[in-house]
Chain A
Amino acid sequence: MKSISELTDFYYKTLYPVLKELEKEREAVKKRVIKLGISYLLIAAFTGLLILRQSNRQIDMFLFFCFAAFTLGAILYKYLVKGYKSTFKEKIIAPLIKELDENLEYLPQQHVNETYFTRSRLFTSRPDRVSGNDYIHGKIDGVPIQLSDFHAEKRHQDSKNNTSWTTMFQGLFIVSEFNKNFKGQTVVLPDRAQSTFGDLVGNWLQSNNFSRNELVKMDNPEFEKEFVVYSTDQVEARYILTHMLMQKLLHYKKESKHPLYASFVGGNIYLAIAYNKDLFEASVFHSLLKYKIAMEYLKTLHLAVGVVKELNLNKKLWSKI
């Protein structure tokens, strides 16, 4: 696997001609979006005013129109930038992934199968709708890994039969093989109770969480502050979470700068990083030549695929030889 600086070199050297071409396309699309956007806004505003006048200021009608106009605008915008976005994935993200490690395959339209998400036990309820994209899978140092953007949602229905959707999780979802044998289930979650309610009440709340297995108190104060661990087996949880792995998970969390969920179920390690946005998407309003924008793509990609090396999943020291 390539390092982040090698990847940056590749981005600015090999991909430079493509980037320049793409930059031209971006400028053109941006102009078109702004032009069409302004005309659309003017037409919509005019029609809106007309409706307001014609319908004797019926606010319902006007609100409905606003909603329809907004939806249509969003669809129109999506349609306009679609070409640019897919060219970006095909010409920039795909070669970057190949450069990172040639054993990786990239499928921009697909995502990690929902069964993995449910099997991970990271969330206690099943999602009602899942979506995602940017599926990457393959082997790194012989360790199978798959990851993608993942969005899991829950449906809610109120008494008036109105349905609404809330996000359970949105971000990167990574599945890989763990380097030790184990039988039970161990789940590592961001510690919300202890940081909100303090040690005493937080600890009590955590030990009385009936939707989870037994609470496991870890002997690393920093880790214990950031995470809460539940497991079916007190000893096995510590067999998996050695002092070294705890430190590495802490480091990984710091690198990603977002809430990290991890679980160890059925021989696999599942990692979920809640970025709360769709990753690896190009915006027509930001230039790809800018260092900051480029580094964000490179870093996220490197962090996601680098999990095998970062957590030493390729070192099968124990019984898994």
Chain B
Amino acid sequence: MSTPLIIIIVLVIIIILMYNSLVAKKNQVDNIFASVDTQLKKRYDLIPNLVASVSKYMEHEKSILNEVTKLRAEANKPNISNEHKMALDSKMSAALGSIMVAVENYPELKANENVLHLQHSLNEVEAQIAAARRAYNQAVTDYNNALEQIPTNILANIMHYQPKKVFEIDESERKNVNVKELFNT
């Protein structure tokens, strides 16, 4: 076999490998976003129940409850973009966090078994969401790195791949979960 032919074959193999790795990275991002989405839906499903259980007692926090309901309605609209979903998620996390803090001011709510159960379920979902977000961010970082690094950046440019945004991870999430604060009974 002549030398130029060997060089061409090797080059083609390298391009195929690069192409496949880029596609794999892009699909990994989409796959993991799907699991983030599943967990987010799970959390949205808990919200009507939560709002119904606490609204009787929470007179001063009506505005947060309304906001949560509104956010949920918005998230349930069809065909919203991933970026929008991510933005809604961070707003929702903040709003739910303040509801949970507010629950502490109502002894009746703290003793309510339904609310307690909801708190457990929310904690569980939040832990799942946090894990899914971290997995998503890693997948996006791998993908974005490939988009910027030589030599995959050349191919990515030809394929019109665009860099993706990562989830902003709230500093408070990095902190240890304080069990005492959560169940201060």
In the complex, whether B174 has a CB less than 8 A from a CB of chain A is yes
**Cα distance, A238 to B137, chains bound together (Å):** 12
A234's partner among B135, B174, B177, B179 (CB-CB below 8 A) is B135
How many of chain A's residues touch chain B, expressed as a range? 10 to 19
Residue contact B177 to A235, C-beta cutoff 8 Å? no
In the complex, whether B46 has a CB less than 8 A from a CB of chain A is no
Query: What A residues does B132 contact at CB under 8 A?
Result: 235, 238
In the complex, whether A58 has a CB less than 8 A from a CB of chain B is no
In the complex, whether A75 has a CB less than 8 A from a CB of chain B is no
User: Can you list, as one digit per residue, whether each of B147-185 has a CB less than 8 Å from chain A (1) or not (0)?
Assistant: 000000000000000000000000000101101001000
Known: A239-B127, A317-B123, A318-B123. A217 touches B32 (CB 8 A): no
Residue contact A317 to B131, C-beta cutoff 8 Å? no
Residue contact B179 to A315, C-beta cutoff 8 Å? yes
Residue contact B135 to A244, C-beta cutoff 8 Å? no
- B136 → A minimal CB distance (Å): 9
Counted as pairs of residues, one from A and one from B, with CB atoms less than 8 Å apart, the total is: 47
User: Can you list, as one digit per residue, whether each of B104-127 has a CB less than 8 Å from chain A (1) or not (0)?
Assistant: 000000000000000010011001
Query: What A residues does B127 contact at CB under 8 A?
Result: 180, 239, 242, 318
In the complex, whether A319 has a CB less than 8 A from a CB of chain B is yes
In the complex, whether A226 has a CB less than 8 A from a CB of chain B is no
Query: What A residues does B131 contact at CB under 8 A?
Result: 235-239, 242
In the complex, whether B138 has a CB less than 8 A from a CB of chain A is yes
**Cα distance, A47 to B128, chains bound together (Å):** 72
User: Can you list, as one digit per residue, whether each of B22-47 has a CB less than 8 Å from chain A (1) or not (0)?
Assistant: 00000000001001000000000000
28 contacts between A and B (CB under 8 A): A180-B127, A216-B138, A219-B134, A219-B137, A219-B138, A234-B135, A235-B128, A235-B132, A235-B135, A237-B131, A237-B135, A238-B132, A239-B127, A239-B128, A242-B127, A242-B130, A242-B131, A243-B174, A243-B176, A244-B176, A244-B177, A315-B179, A317-B120, A317-B123, A318-B120, A318-B123, A318-B127, A319-B124
The chain A residues found within 8 Å of chain B, CB to CB, are 180, 216-217, 219, 234-239, 242-244, 315, 317-319, 321
11 more A-B contacts (CB under 8 A) besides A239-B127, A244-B176, A318-B127? A180-B127, A217-B138, A234-B135, A235-B128, A235-B131, A237-B135, A239-B128, A239-B131, A242-B131, A317-B120, A319-B124
The chain B residues found within 8 Å of chain A, CB to CB, are 32, 35, 120, 123-124, 127-128, 130-132, 134-135, 137-139, 142, 174, 176-177, 179, 182
